[in-house]
Structure 1
Amino acid sequence: MSYEMIAILMFSAMLLMMLTGQRVFGVIGFVAVVASLALWGTGGQSMGFSAAMKLMKWYPLLTLPMFIFMGYVMSESRLADDLYRMFHVWFGPVPGGLAIGTILLMVLISAMNGLSVAGMAIGSTIALPELLRRRYDKLMVTGVIQAGSSLGILIPPSVVLVLYAMIARQPVGQLWLAGVVPGLMMAGMFVAYIWLRCRLNPALGPVLPPEELAAVPRSEKMRLLAAGLLPLGIFAAMMVPFVNGWTSLVESSVIGALVTVLAAVVKGRFTREVFETSTRATLAISCMFMWIILAALAFGAVFDGLGAVRAIQGFFVDRLELSPWTILIMMQLSYLIMGMFLDDTAMLVIVAPLYVPLVGALGFDLIWYGVLYTITCQVAYLTPPFGYNLFLMRAMAPPEITIGDIYRSIVPFVGVMVLALVLVMAFPEIALWLPETLYAK
């Protein structure tokens, strides 16, 4: 049997096993170990062990539990309450101002979290009831919260980029910096869309009544402004030492976690329940990601041994005579299709052993491609029928918001994300300028 046929058989077996409902890391790891034993005999049994040793020696992986813990402490201690109140007061006079404030809230939460689930939890519990009470259009606000929470996997510290860094063997710091400008650009595009829609149709996002704004004294506005700067202070305490080279990435993640806990303690919100819930959730999610990375490394090692990447590259470039850009666009389209049925981690570990080496062989920058992959994951988070954020919103939304409302609400925001993806593809400097500039120093 040819190596190409073995690679096709591995993918087919993996997809069929996933249809049985087994966990992603179990399916991928099982196929990898069975294939290695079949190909190389008893020596193949060390494949999984070698992947585990490589995983345990990857020092930057320690950032993963630190940032997850930060996000859950922020969510469980409700440190974001004052932050949203600040946006409520300061952006109230703007058309769609509370929705715009919700996007900005999500940006700041993303800068301290790395996962979309915390942004979704904060948005649905704090912002959604207030927006509906203020007579904002339910389709508008539902789409705003889903799209805003997806920023958590692009704006650093992104856990998804940590996973990509391990599989693609790229530096996490550069990947995080590469996600900053595209993430802020996408948030700005969301804000521009909301403002324009509400400007054209004020009923979608009515401004706060002048008498209500006048009832808030100036001293309260300044107090809220100071409280709203707390997340920025946490982010600065974490990232400034890292950017200036004073601390390593892992050390910065520890600083971020300690400062977040200190902020919760100072506000009197770091209770035993908050600590226990945050610790349990951090342990569960960290273990899940480690199992996924372990399975992906084992699967990728088998593919490297087969030479499948070189065979597929030869098929597309030599036989079909496709240009590198055509192949890249086809890869992104395949991600969008898979995103309708799989989550981001499943997509990455299934095709990373094939796509990442192929992207490098075609001459593209793997840091830049990591940003493209992450933006595609954001689209996948909002794409029916699987869309992870769709399920979260359905679980957290009030009864008056139906699943049909949730599906319709994300259409314009998916369009904005696809536009952002096209811009980053057409102008790679959007993603590469910041890491190249800082690392050049």
Structure 2
Amino acid sequence: MDYNAIALLMFATMLLMMITGQRVFGAIGFVGVVFAFFLWGDGATDMGFQAVIKVMRWSALLTLPMFIFMGYVMSESRIADDLYRMFHVWFGPLPGGLAIGTILLMVMISVMNGLSVAGMAIGATIALPELLRRGYDKQMISGVIQAGSSLGILIPPSVVLVLYALIARQPVSNLWLAGVMPGLLMAALFVVYIVIRCGLNPLLAPAMAAEERARITWSERVHLLRAGLLPLFIFVAMMVPFLNGWSSLTESSVIGVLATLLVASVKRKLTWRVMHTATVSTLQITVMFMMIITAALVFGAVFDGLGAGRSIQRFFTDDLGLAPWQIMVLMQLSFLVLGMFLDDTAMLVIVAPVFISLTKSLGFDLVWYGIMYTITCQIAYLTPPFGYNLFLMKAMAPPEFTMPIIYKSVFPFVLIMLLTLLLVGIFPDIALWLPRTVLGY
């Protein structure tokens, strides 16, 4: 059988196993090992052990448990409560004000951790009950929490961008800075949509009652503004030493953990229960990441050994004779389709190495492409049938949040993400201006 046909069969088998409900790491790793055995014999079974060794040598992966732990400490200690109260007081009088506050809360949470799951946990435990109590439309609630939490993988410190930096051999500092402006742009577009949508139909998101507004004094409003200093303190403590070269990426992630623990201690919310839950949850998520990465490395080694990457490159550039921007559009469309079935880690380790080399050969900037890829991952988090955030929302929300409601709620926000992707694609300086200004990239 032709090697290209074998590579296609590998990919189709992996997708079929995932559709039937198999674990992501199991489907990827099983297909990789079985095909390696039939292609190259007994010696190929060592590829799994080699992948483990390769993962152990990626020192930057030590940042994963640190950022995950930060997110869970913030979620379990509920240090985001005051932040949400601040946004509630300042934006509550507006139609959709609490939804706007939820998006801004997610921006704040994003600068304190690098994962979507922490934002989802905080949104489901803090924002969702309050939004329901105030009569917000369930579809609006679901869309706002899911879209807002996805900002965590674009705004630094993003774990996805750390993984991309490892694959693309690009400085993490450049990628983190490149994610700032697109992340804030996307958040701003979310807010604009909420303002317009709730302005047209105030019943979707009722404003705070006049009598409640009257009970809130200006001294209380000013006092609550201090809650916004917490994420700023954690962000500065972690990022300043890293961007100035005083600490490595791993050391900065440890500083971030210490700053988060300090904040929780000062607020008297660092309990044994918080530490236990955060530690156990961190271990579970970290092990899941490592197993997916290890399995994907095995699959990728076999896939690349078949010459699939070079075949794809020849197909685009020689056989089809497409212009570079046409190839870029096709790559992004393929990521959007794959995102309906794979999570961002699996896509990154399996497909991204092929597309990264193709992007480099076409003359595109790899830092810019990293942001394009990450925005595509955000869209993948929200697109049926296997969007990661869709299932998290169902697991965390009350029973009245049915899957049809959850599915329908994300489409306006997916369109906004696609608009952001288009804007960053047309105007690369949205992503590249900040790293060029700060680091001279």
Same fold (TM over 0.5): yes
Residue 131 of structure 2 aligns to which amino acid in structure 1? L
| Counterpart Cα distance in 1 of 2:404 and 2:135 | 19
Q: 1:418 Cα deviation (Å)?
A: 0.8
Residue 115 of structure 1 is matched in structure 2 by: 115
Residue 314 of structure 1 is matched in structure 2 by: 314
What are the within-5 Å matches in structure 2 for residues 88-127 of structure 1?
Answer: 88-127=88-127
Q: Which moved more, 1:373-382 or 1:16-25?
A: 16-25
TM-aligned CA distance change 1:55 to 1:75, over 3 Å: same
Residue 403 in structure 1 maps to residue 403 in structure 2? yes
| Counterpart Cα distance in 2 of 1:403 and 1:316 | 38
Residue 417 of structure 1 aligns to which amino acid in structure 2? M
What are the within-5 Å matches in structure 2 for residues 218-297 of structure 1?
Answer: 218-297=218-297
TM-score, normalised with respect to structure 2? 0.93
Residue 370 in structure 1 maps to residue 370 in structure 2? yes
The count of residues paired between Structure 1 and Structure 2 equals 441
CA contact (8 A) 2:309 2:354 kept: yes
| Counterpart Cα distance in 1 of 2:420 and 2:5 | 37
Residue 135 of structure 1 is matched in structure 2 by: 135
Identical counterparts, % of pairs = 70
Residue 305 of structure 1 is matched in structure 2 by: 305
TM-aligned CA distance change 1:306 to 1:340, over 3 Å: closer
Residue 355 of structure 2 is matched in structure 1 by: 355
Q: 1:34 Cα deviation (Å)?
A: 4.0
Equivalent position SS for 2:207: coil
Residue 146 in structure 1 maps to residue 151 in structure 2? no
Q: 1:46 Cα deviation (Å)?
A: 4.3
Equivalent position SS for 1:245: coil
| Counterpart Cα distance in 1 of 2:406 and 2:384 | 10
| Counterpart Cα distance in 1 of 2:101 and 2:69 | 25
CA contact (8 A) 1:167 1:297 kept: no
| Counterpart Cα distance in 2 of 1:31 and 1:385 | 22
Q: 1:235 Cα deviation (Å)?
A: 1.2
Residue 387 of structure 2 is matched in structure 1 by: 387
CA deviation map 1:190-242 (0-9, x unaligned): 01111122233333333323332231223322221112321221111111222
Residue 339 of structure 1 is matched in structure 2 by: 339
**Structure 2: unaligned runs, 5 residues or longer:** none
What are the within-5 Å matches in structure 2 for residues 190-229 of structure 1?
Answer: 190-229=190-229
| Counterpart Cα distance in 2 of 1:303 and 1:137 | 46
Q: 1:65 Cα deviation (Å)?
A: 0.8
Q: Which moved more, 1:102-111 or 1:302-311?
A: 302-311
CA contact (8 A) 1:28 1:350 kept: no
CA contact (8 A) 2:37 2:45 kept: yes
Q: 1:41 Cα deviation (Å)?
A: 4.7
Q: 1:429 Cα deviation (Å)?
A: 1.6
CA contact (8 A) 1:303 1:353 kept: no
Residue 273 of structure 1 aligns to which amino acid in structure 2? R
Equivalent position SS for 2:321: coil
TM-aligned CA distance change 1:166 to 1:298, over 3 Å: farther
| Counterpart Cα distance in 2 of 1:396 and 1:344 | 21
Q: Which moved more, 1:365-374 or 1:342-351?
A: 342-351
Q: 1:20 Cα deviation (Å)?
A: 4.6
| Counterpart Cα distance in 1 of 2:66 and 2:119 | 17
Residue 159 of structure 2 aligns to which amino acid in structure 1? V
Q: Which moved more, 1:108-117 or 1:90-99?
A: 90-99
| Counterpart Cα distance in 1 of 2:191 and 2:407 | 20
| Counterpart Cα distance in 1 of 2:46 and 2:395 | 42
| Counterpart Cα distance in 2 of 1:418 and 1:391 | 21
| Counterpart Cα distance in 1 of 2:406 and 2:2 | 47
CA contact (8 A) 2:106 2:149 kept: yes
TM-aligned CA distance change 1:51 to 1:189, over 3 Å: same
Equivalent position SS for 1:410: helix
Residue 69 of structure 1 is matched in structure 2 by: 69
Residue 27 of structure 1 is matched in structure 2 by: 27
Q: 1:160 Cα deviation (Å)?
A: 2.0
Equivalent position SS for 1:208: coil
TM-aligned CA distance change 1:296 to 1:438, over 3 Å: farther
| Counterpart Cα distance in 1 of 2:38 and 2:273 | 49
CA contact (8 A) 1:167 1:293 kept: no
| Counterpart Cα distance in 1 of 2:306 and 2:155 | 36
Q: 1:141 Cα deviation (Å)?
A: 2.2
Residue 163 in structure 1 maps to residue 163 in structure 2? yes
| Counterpart Cα distance in 2 of 1:236 and 1:400 | 40
Residue 326 of structure 1 is matched in structure 2 by: 326
Q: 1:74 Cα deviation (Å)?
A: 0.2
TM-aligned CA distance change 1:78 to 1:38, over 3 Å: same
Residue 339 of structure 1 aligns to which amino acid in structure 2? G
Q: Which moved more, 1:29-38 or 1:95-104?
A: 29-38
CA contact (8 A) 2:19 2:341 kept: no
Q: Which moved more, 1:99-108 or 1:329-338?
A: 329-338
CA deviation map 1:91-124 (0-9, x unaligned): 1233321111110000111111211122112112
What CA RMSD, in Å, does the superposition of the two structures yield over aligned residues?
A: 2.1
CA contact (8 A) 1:343 1:381 kept: yes
What are the within-5 Å matches in structure 2 for residues 11-50 of structure 1?
Answer: 11-41=11-41, 43-50=43-50
Q: 1:61 Cα deviation (Å)?
A: 1.3
Residue 51 of structure 2 aligns to which amino acid in structure 1? A
**Structure 1: unaligned runs, 5 residues or longer:** none
| Counterpart Cα distance in 1 of 2:358 and 2:435 | 23
| Counterpart Cα distance in 1 of 2:53 and 2:401 | 48
CA deviation map 1:126-145 (0-9, x unaligned): 11222222222332222111
| Counterpart Cα distance in 2 of 1:278 and 1:204 | 35
| Counterpart Cα distance in 1 of 2:15 and 2:204 | 43
Q: Which moved more, 1:98-107 or 1:193-202?
A: 193-202
Q: 1:50 Cα deviation (Å)?
A: 3.3
Q: Which moved more, 1:73-82 or 1:218-227?
A: 218-227
Residue 367 of structure 2 aligns to which amino acid in structure 1? I
